[in-house]
Structure 1
Amino acid sequence: MTTTNSDARASVQANTWLTRYYFTRAGFSIVWVVAAVGMANSHTAVVAALLLIYPMWDAVANGVDAQRNGGLRRNPTQTFNAGVSVVTTVAVAVALTQSMHAVLAVFGVWAAMSGLLQLATGVRRWKGSGAQWPMILSGAQSTLAGIMFWQQSNAAEVPYVSDIAPYAAFGAFYFLISAVWLTINDARRRRA
Structure 2
Amino acid sequence: TPYQWMCVSHACGLAVDILRVIDRQNTQNRKYGLPPLELGLGIAFSDQPPTFLYDGEQQIMISPAINRSDQLSSCSSALRKSPLGKGLGRGVEVYVPIDQSLIDKQTSDRLVRYNVNGIELDAPAFYKLKSELVLREAEADATGRYLVGRFPDLEGRMHGLVVREAMVLNWDGARAAGEESRGRRFYEVIADQTRIRSLLGREV
User: How high is the TM-score relative to the length of structure 1?
Assistant: 0.40
Considering fraction of residues, name the structure with more helix. 1
Q: Of the two structures, which has the highest relative contact order with CA contacts closer than 8 Å and spacing of 6 or more?
A: 1
